[in-house]
Amino acid sequence: MLMPLFFLLTSAFNVPPVEVTEHFTSIPLSYQVQVLQTEQDISFQEALSAAEKGLFSTPSVGLVFPGGPHYYWAQFNVKNQTTVTKSIFIEVRNAHLNHLEVFEYTGNGFDYASLGKTGDYLNFDSRPINYRFFAFETKLMPGEMRSFLLHTDKFNESIKFPIAIHTGEGFFSTLSNESALLGGYFGIYSLVVLLLLIIVLSKPSLLNISLLFYVVGFSLLAYSNSGMGFQHSWPNMAVFNSLSRSIFASIASVSLMFFAYASLDLNKKRHSTISTFHRIFTLYVFLNALLFIAYYFLVWLQSPYLTHFNVLVLQLPMGAQFFYLMLLSIYLTMTQRKINHLLFLLAISGVALASLVFFFEQIGEPIIDFAQEQIMLGALVFDFAILSSLVGIEFYQIRSRNRSLADSLNKAIVEGAENFLEGQHIERSRLAQQVHDGAGVKLSALQMQLSVLATQDKQQQQKLIQTVSTIAEDIRNYAHNLSPIILEKYGFIDAIEEVVDSLNIEQKALKIIFEHDQSTVHKKNVERELYFICLELINNALKHSEGTEVLIQFTTTSTEWCLQVKDNGEGYDAMMGKNSGIGLQGIHWRLQLLNSQMLTYYKQGIQIHQIKIPYFSDVKA
């Protein structure tokens, strides 16, 4: 009886225990753990018996194992070296283990207890502690040493179950620090998604939409892979965390192929060999993604057909996809030397770095678990930033091209308008000359003939002479308005003074005042437009204001000409569209050509029209 008990005790303690001292907070286990792999599930008592027989061994490459036998028992010991009772937290840093249970026992193993049974195949609320990974709590009395057996499995896949031992202080400190850091990463992911969403809404395209789906898919994959996934939202839905991982990985994988198609300009060479191969490979990735999702649905349904699937075969195309995209971007960068090809290569390199860390983990290289997680999340930030810059560059180039086209169109419109105004001026001058030299001269001759005409009815003769004189004056004014000679010879100030003096003589209902600072307009076309704008505003006041006075003010500054026309009439609200007839529309059209606009408002009984024209007006001098 004593011999079996001796072997049992020595097998239980043939690895050094984790010693909890006064300064101890946390430690990841390595050589302190022995592991047993089995092809069939065994009970706790059978695992103890295997330990008695020395079947447990210390892994040479850490707690990472390839696919194959998928039932595992890990044995380790913890000793409280302090003089107070200590809360001990056993953390298993993998949120995707199928089942997980931790047993604690002392001595010969007859006195044992389960700290809880949980796992990805069970509901989230089965976890002893609400935590992104799996954690179990126990208490050790002063000087007490206790042994633990951890039982887990992962069907048909490689498995890792890094174990860490914490005191209460160490566990909650780690929880707080990691949560803050992970929150920062996912905050960055959310910001990138928001920016891409704005870009997609403003300009939907294959490039923008595919990148949005890629970033969303990969961000949610990282979120669920970190253990912070959607089991929190659906605590009663078993396997949902692993199922969501496969869905998000598939979305990201397929979206990346579409994004590569657009960003590497393969869509512009649809009949090339590379473009054709890429479309075929994209179809292959899409079909494989459907099978990958179907596999986890079968896991969720606990289907007996799972034995016909090898998940490693389904995961292989995802690795091949990144290898293919890296080779493709290297080839295009070397042959075409475009910035978008180089940026895509850098982005894929970031994902390759994350994949390399995962690869080393799969072959058993010891990597600190949280450091590995940081490398992968940081690589995604780098990847998202580079790929988003591709969209940003494309967006900027499109906006630049649109702006250039708009500038060219505006320039063509302005040049056309300038040519139109110049032609209008020439035609006005020609018509004015014809009217003056034709009808004007003939009416003067007719007036002379009437004055020497022998007739007995002198009163009727004078009446006819006066009528002809009035018609001649109207024609002269018409010719003057078409092409004012004073404007062409003496400039804007003299021309407006002549108009004001003439109107004050012809009508008495409205007093017109012209104030100026003797400035000149050194651009002839600007001078003409100002003249006709001023005439239209005066005419508008005469017809519509019903006031008694119009004040015209013309001044200059170091950068612009300023024209202001005021009247004390009833006024109008420019925003309401009143009086926005052909005349005012013509004013606004002329002002557009002068890079200016008119400010119109009614204040304290005064209707004000204010115009400022910059010296650098585009209208040709």
Domain ranges within the chain, ordered by starting residue: 2-173, 180-402, 491-621
Lowest mean pLDDT among 76-80, 226-230, 486-490, 540-544: 226-230
Model confidence at 506, pLDDT cuts 50, 70, 90, reads confident
Question: Does residue 509 register a pLDDT over 60?
Answer: yes
- More confident of the two residues 372 and 321: 321
Q: Give the pLDDT confidence score for residue 587 in this predicted structure.
A: 82
Q: Give the pLDDT confidence score for residue 578 in this predicted structure.
A: 46
Question: Does residue 88 register a pLDDT over 90?
Answer: yes
Q: Are strands 163-167 and 86-92 parallel, antiparallel or unpaired?
A: antiparallel
Lowest mean pLDDT among 137-146, 318-327, 425-434: 425-434
Rounded Cα–Cα distance for residues 241 and 234 (Å): 9
- More confident of the two residues 443 and 406: 406
Q: What is the 3-state secondary structure of 27-83? A: EECCCCCEEEEECCCCCHHHHHHHHHCCCCECCCCCCEECCCCCEEEEEEEEEECCC
Rounded Cα–Cα distance for residues 621 and 611 (Å): 19
Question: Does residue 620 register a pLDDT over 50?
Answer: no
Question: Does residue 410 register a pLDDT over 60?
Answer: yes
Question: Does residue 151 register a pLDDT over 90?
Answer: yes
Question: Does residue 446 register a pLDDT over 70?
Answer: no
Q: Give the pLDDT confidence score for residue 235 in this predicted structure.
A: 65
Look at the domain 2-173 and name its fold. Answer: Immunoglobulin-like (2.60.40)
Mind listing the pLDDT tens digit for each residue in 331-348?
888 888 888 788 888 888
Mind listing the pLDDT tens digit for each residue in 287-315?
988 888 887 777 777 777 766 666 667 77
Rounded Cα–Cα distance for residues 365 and 457 (Å): 129
Q: Give the pLDDT confidence score for residue 360 in this predicted structure.
A: 56
Q: Give the pLDDT confidence score for residue 479 in this predicted structure.
A: 55
- More confident of the two residues 61 and 208: 208
Residues 600 and 541 sit within 8 Å (Cβ to Cβ): no
Q: Give the pLDDT confidence score for residue 145 in this predicted structure.
A: 92
Q: Give the pLDDT confidence score for residue 20 in this predicted structure.
A: 93
For the segment 382-392, the average pLDDT, to the nearest whole number, is 76
Q: Give the pLDDT confidence score for residue 12 in this predicted structure.
A: 46
- Residue written as token pair 């494309």: 394
Mind listing the pLDDT tens digit for each residue in 162-208?
899 999 888 888 888 887 887 888 888 888 888 888 888 888 888 88
Rounded Cα–Cα distance for residues 201 and 224 (Å): 27
Rounded Cα–Cα distance for residues 81 and 21 (Å): 5
Q: Give the pLDDT confidence score for residue 138 in this predicted structure.
A: 94
- Residue written as token pair 């979206």: 255
Q: Give the pLDDT confidence score for residue 115 in this predicted structure.
A: 93
Q: By 3-state DSSP, what share of the chain in percent is helix, strand and coil, each rounded to 5?
A: 60, 15, 25
Mean pLDDT of the chain, nearest integer: 78
Q: Give the pLDDT confidence score for residue 228 in this predicted structure.
A: 65
Model confidence at 117, pLDDT cuts 50, 70, 90, reads very high
Tell which residue, 308, 304, 346, has the closest CA to residue 325: 346
Question: Does residue 8 register a pLDDT over 80?
Answer: no
Tell which residue, 528, 413, 415, has the closest CA to residue 482: 528
Model confidence at 3, pLDDT cuts 50, 70, 90, reads very low
For the segment 488-492, the average pLDDT, to the nearest whole number, is 76
Model confidence at 480, pLDDT cuts 50, 70, 90, reads low
Question: Does residue 130 register a pLDDT over 60?
Answer: yes
Mind listing the pLDDT tens digit for each residue in 14-45?
678 999 999 999 998 888 899 999 888 999 99
State the architecture of 491-621 in CATH terms. Answer: 2-Layer Sandwich (3.30)
Options 3.30.60, 2.60.40, 3.40.50, 1.20.1070; CATH of 180-402: 1.20.1070
Rounded Cα–Cα distance for residues 268 and 341 (Å): 14
| Contacts of range 22-27, beta carbons closer than 8 Å, 24 or more positions apart | 22/82, 24/167, 24/170, 25/166, 25/167, 25/169, 25/170, 25/173, 26/164, 26/165, 26/166, 26/167, 26/170, 26/171, 26/174, 27/164, 27/165
Tell which residue, 163, 27, 37, 157, has the closest CA to residue 96: 157
Where is mean pLDDT largest: 352-366, 546-560, 568-582? 546-560
Lowest mean pLDDT among 134-143, 461-470, 593-602: 461-470
What are the residues whose beta carbons fall under 8 Å from the beta carbon of 102, sequence distance 6 or more?
A: 90, 114, 115, 116, 136, 148, 149, 150, 151
What are the residues whose beta carbons fall under 8 Å from the beta carbon of 84, sequence distance 6 or more?
A: 142
For the segment 421-426, the average pLDDT, to the nearest whole number, is 60
- Chain centroid, CA 540 distance in Å: 50
Question: Does residue 280 register a pLDDT over 80?
Answer: yes
Rounded Cα–Cα distance for residues 388 and 381 (Å): 10
Rounded percentage of the chain residues whose pLDDT exceeds 70: 75
What are the residues whose beta carbons fall under 8 Å from the beta carbon of 17, sequence distance 6 or more?
A: 32, 76, 77, 78, 79, 145
Q: Give the pLDDT confidence score for residue 538 in this predicted structure.
A: 86
- More confident of the two residues 125 and 90: 90
Q: Give the pLDDT confidence score for residue 293 in this predicted structure.
A: 82
Rounded Cα–Cα distance for residues 242 and 121 (Å): 9
Q: Give the pLDDT confidence score for residue 103 in this predicted structure.
A: 95
DSSP, collapsed to helix, strand or coil, labels residue 605 as: coil
Residues 245 and 96 sit within 8 Å (Cβ to Cβ): yes
Rounded percentage of the chain residues whose pLDDT exceeds 90: 14
Q: Tell me the H-state helices in 203-272.
A: 206-223, 240-263
Question: Does residue 1 register a pLDDT over 50?
Answer: no
For the segment 408-420, the average pLDDT, to the nearest whole number, is 66
Q: Give the pLDDT confidence score for residue 148 in this predicted structure.
A: 94
Length of the chain: 621
Question: Does residue 596 register a pLDDT over 80?
Answer: yes
- More confident of the two residues 62 and 240: 62
The helix or strand, by DSSP H or E, that contains position 316, with its residue range, turns out to be: helix 311-336
Give the count of beta carbons closer than 10 Å to the beta carbon of residue 474. 11
